């Protein structure tokens, strides 16, 4: 099979070959969404530049490392807001951004790090960005800040949401509305943020003296699919005694669950209350407006970029984990249990 070329990458990414060349040489002038498309095309084709010679060492470029998502990075509203915050702060500090996408968990340094073509790296999200990969990056000496992820193996600079407390508040809200059969739709365990939300749910239930009904702890069934939550809600509705309320570990999951409820001839929140997490704008989705947990996504990006800038200038900074507060936003998808 012929070796992929820049032209092949450009065709798959729907950009010009010159845009691919600019991306490969870390030149400014390419938007974030275009960078993501090019990075994903390079990954899909297995394209390798003919020369692995390191680029200029001092260009003022910052790398943003992301895993390949079912939707483009800019199509996921949580990460779109975080990256917008990163980009604004990077520009104010005089940096340009280069994006690197990984398709699966690997123990190989990302291209931007291996070629030493950036001054620092922001690792956005978890999943395929594993503790092992983070350890490799730190070992390379590259300044690193993780966003929406942290390491269980070693201290590092990170900016995360208070996922545990947010999930606790969401579950507590449903309990205060009189619900007792409260289900959770989990997310993949490879995401630490979603695991923390699961723990917040569990502890809220235990603290309220309700205990844990394992039948109501719904494992993920639609990992990698755009309509998260639909299959999981179908499974919960098939129980002999269905839940009266559901905490979904993300808004996307909650909004995937609602059609399954409606297809069963039930109403939200009349028959089943549902609460999400992330606070996607109500205008983006159909009614009912979703009760959810909100966090300062733009601020996360700003703070992460500020922290990276500081450790680039002074690598001796002690690593810190910055936890962003969150709060419950009550809207129309949750209501008192009708007894």
The predicted-structure confidence for 205-218, as pLDDT tens digits, reads as follows 999 999 999 999 99
As a whole-number percent, the residues of the chain with pLDDT over 70 amount to: 90
Q: Which of residues 164 and 45 earns the better pLDDT score?
A: 164
Flag the least confident range among 55-69, 167-181, 195-209.
Answer: 55-69
Domains of the chain are: 6-161+297-325 (3.40.50.2300), 163-294 (3.40.50.2300)
Q: Which of residues 198 and 20 earns the better pLDDT score?
A: 198
Q: What rounded mean pLDDT belongs to the chain? A: 88
Quick one: average pLDDT of 3-27? Answer: 85
Q: Is 259's pLDDT higher than 50?
A: yes
Q: Read off the pLDDT of residues 272-309 as tens digits, 9 standing for 90 and up.
A: 999 999 998 776 777 899 999 998 899 999 999 999 99
Instruction: State the pLDDT at residue 225.
Output: 59
| Cα of 218 vs its chain's centroid, Å | 20
Q: Is 317's pLDDT higher than 90?
A: no
As a whole-number percent, the residues of the chain with pLDDT over 90 amount to: 57
Instruction: State the pLDDT at residue 126.
Output: 86
Band of residue 75 on the pLDDT scale cut at 50, 70, 90: low
Quick one: average pLDDT of 90-100? Answer: 90
Strand partners, 161: 324
Instruction: State the pLDDT at residue 2.
Output: 59
Quick one: average pLDDT of 71-84? Answer: 74
Q: Phi and psi (nearest 5°) for 333?
A: -85, 0
Quick one: average pLDDT of 141-151? Answer: 93
- Which segments of the chain are extended strands (E)? 61-67, 96-102, 120-124, 144-147, 157-161, 182-185, 217-218, 245-248, 273-275, 292-295, 321-324, 326-329
Flag the least confident range among 1-15, 86-100, 197-211, 272-286.
Answer: 1-15
Q: Which of residues 42 and 158 earns the better pLDDT score?
A: 158
Instruction: State the pLDDT at residue 49.
Output: 63
Q: Read off the pLDDT of residues 17-59 as tens digits, 9 standing for 90 and up.
A: 888 888 887 677 788 778 888 887 887 787 766 544 443 344 5
User: Residue 262 belongs to what H/E stretch?
Assistant: helix 251-263
Identify which of 55-59, 78-82, 102-106, 333-337 has the greatest average pLDDT.
333-337
Band of residue 70 on the pLDDT scale cut at 50, 70, 90: low
pTM over 0.85: no
Q: Which of residues 48 and 14 earns the better pLDDT score?
A: 14
The encoded tokens of residue 163 equal: 């996922």
Band of residue 266 on the pLDDT scale cut at 50, 70, 90: very high
Quick one: average pLDDT of 188-192? Answer: 90
Cβ-contact 253, 185 below 8 angstroms: yes
Q: Give the 3-state secondary structure of 50-103.
A: CCCCCCCCCCCEEEEEEECCCCCHHHCHHHHHHHHHHHHHHHHCCCEEEEEEEC
């Amino acid at each position: 099979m012929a070796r992929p070329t820049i032209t092949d990458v450009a065709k798959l990414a729907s950009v010009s070959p010159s845009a691919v060349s600019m991306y490969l040489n870390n030149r400014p002038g390419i938007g974030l969404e275009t960078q993501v498309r090019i990075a994903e095309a390079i990954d899909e084709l297995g394209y390798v530049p003919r020369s692995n010679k390191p680029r200029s060492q001092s260009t003022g470029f910052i790398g943003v490392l992301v895993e390949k998502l079912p939707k483009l990075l800019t199509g996921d509203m949580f990460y779109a807001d975080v990256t917008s915050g990163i980009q604004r702060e990077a520009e104010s500090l005089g940096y340009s951004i280069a994006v690197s996408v990984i398709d699966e968990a690997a123990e190989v340094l990302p291209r931007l790090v291996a070629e030493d073509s950036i001054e620092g790296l922001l690792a956005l999200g978890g999943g395929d960005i594993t503790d092992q990969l983070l350890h490799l990056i730190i070992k390379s000496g590259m300044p690193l800040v993780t966003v929406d992820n942290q390491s269980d193996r070693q201290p590092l600079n990170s900016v995360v949401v208070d996922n545990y407390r947010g999930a606790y508040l969401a579950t507590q809200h449903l309990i205060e509305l009189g619900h007792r059969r409260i289900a959770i739709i989990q997310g993949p365990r490879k995401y630490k943020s979603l695991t923390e939300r699961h723990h917040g749910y569990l502890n809220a239930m235990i603290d309220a003296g309700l205990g844990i009904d394992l039948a109501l702890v719904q494992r993920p069934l639609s990992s990698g699919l755009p309509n998260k939550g639909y299959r999981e809600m179908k499974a919960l509705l098939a129980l002999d005694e269905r839940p009266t309320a559901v905490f979904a570990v993300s808004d996307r999951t909650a909004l995937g669950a609602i059609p399954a409820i409606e297809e069963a001839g039930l109403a939200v929140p009349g028959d089943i209350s549902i609460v999400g997490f992330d606070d996607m704008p109500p205008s983006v989705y159909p009614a009912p407006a979703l009760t959810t947990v909100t966090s300062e996504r733009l601020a996360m990006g700003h703070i992460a970029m500020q922290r990276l800038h500081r450790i680039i200038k002074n690598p001796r900074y002690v690593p810190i984990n910055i936890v962003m507060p969150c709060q419950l936003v009550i809207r129309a998808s949750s209501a008192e249990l009708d007894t």
